Amino acid sequence: MAWSKVEGKAKPHYGVMLLCAWKATTKSGSYFYDVLTHWPDGTWTDDADDVVEQDELPDYWQAISPPVDA
């Protein structure tokens, strides 16, 4: 799966959990990751159902797919 950029912190998906990545501002340039939920009204929440503010939104997202039974 490819990562999608959250350009302009736009609404990427509705009502789904997304694996999100933020570009660290340290010299190492590493990314850090978390799972957020993006709701139909455009709100983003973390795993504690706290609203993620606009300036804290991720730089990239990737949809989380459920496991497929073999």
Full residue range of the structural domain in which residue 35 is found? 13-63
Structure tokens at 64: 């989380």
Residue 2 covered by a domain: no
- Residue closest to 19 by CA, chosen among 42, 43, 41, 37: 37
Cite the beta strand spans of the chain per DSSP E: 4-5, 16-23, 31-38, 44-45, 60-63
- State how many domains the chain has: 1
Residue 20 covered by a domain: yes
Residue 1 covered by a domain: no
Residue-wise pLDDT tens digits, 7-50:
655 555 556 788 889 887 767 778 889 999 888 777 889 988 89
Residue-wise pLDDT tens digits, 50-69:
999 988 999 888 888 767 77
pTM: 0.68
Residue 56 covered by a domain: yes
Residue 6 covered by a domain: no
